[in-house]
Chain A
Amino acid sequence: MTRYIVRRVLWGLLLLVLVGALTFVLFHVFPTANPARLRAGRNPSPRVVAEISRNLGLNRPLPTQFWLYMRGLFLHFNLGYSYYSEASVRSLIFDRLAATASLTIGAAVIWLGCGLSVGIISALRRRSRLDRASMGAALVLISAPEYWLGLIAIYLFAADIGQVKVLPGAGSYVPLTTDPWKWFTSLLLPWLVLAASFAAVYARLMRASLIETMGEDYIRTARAKGLPERRVVLRHGVRAAINPIITIFALDVGTLLGGAILIETVFDIPGVGRLAYEAITHADFPIVEGTVLLVALVVIVANILVDIAYAFVDPRVRYS
């Protein structure tokens, strides 16, 4: 087990190096715009551009640039500096991490809570009206793009421009440490919107998995023991049906972070996603690189954690 974990962590590191190299190639070898030109203001003289290029190290040969970039990244966790504000990308990201973590973790809780419970109820009341209604709603939520759903939610419920003024709308984010209640209410709409499509997918997954599990021989055995149906379903059925969903969850963490970019933009939440969005529009490559690397790190770590967790939830899995 320990050997397995060490191996997985080493592979994860290698993967990070590859992602780092890839971002370098994307943003330094094939730049879509010359960063020095971008920084030099309107109608710059070639001399100014050359000067800025030299300051940013853009005139050095690519292998040297790559070496400096990777060394900074992995030895000093240096993600570079914004082309515009000169601020350290690392501190820019750190400042905004709390908002993104609030958004994504809260959304994941709602996503799993709603998705799994709706799935379980649907599986048990298969072909009932409740089942049909929730599966139909799930289909709608899966099909609806998040940014559209977000705009609709603001249009309907936001306190400033909404039809039914119940919840704070865009731009109302307050850090948890400042005011927990305002933090909660301001994030409620973004959470629901971000969680909606995931919850819908997971309701369907859970329903299918539980229906399949309830046909297993060991469920029949549990009933033959005289256990109450409730216990048969929740202890024996759900316990087995939830395992494959744990695996998929790790893969969806990356998608969740992608969704966070859209939701942070729609709801004007000052998080990493919004930082990335603004950086993309301004061709501020170091920030884009930094956020890409952060997402890669989170996805890799989530996958390692889930694989390790799997050994604990399924005794048949033994890593060697």
Chain B
Amino acid sequence: MSENQNSSNCRISRNVLIKAPGLLPMLYTPREIAEDLDVPETTLRDWLNHGAPHSRDESNHIWIDGKQFAAWVDNQRNARKKPTHPLQVGEGFCMRCNTIVKIQNGEIRPVKGNLSHLKGKCPICGGIVNRGIWNAGSSELPQC
């Protein structure tokens, strides 16, 4: 048996994401797994070409391990999640530079209740950077 894996992101439908954990720890043929997941066999074969785990026997027949395939589907879902970078204290998003920057000369102005408005300058382009802050304190102002 030989393994063929090319890592690449595939678009996995919600239906498959729900059904994949129910696959059994056994070897499936592509047709069986396509029936169980309710997807066309061509779609499944496309996923196999894009790195879904499978093996071939000496007769060149494709076999898919149910648990390995379920793990691969789960990885695909996690891979599609975009990484997030929460703003730290004194940071803001500069619309001109399109990046997170440390706000310079920041001024805090209360808006309503605990909500305040932090306005400062971008250290790269010198443009104005705005940010809404909750429970504003002196720690929100950058040391610069």
Q: Do A and B come from one complex?
A: no
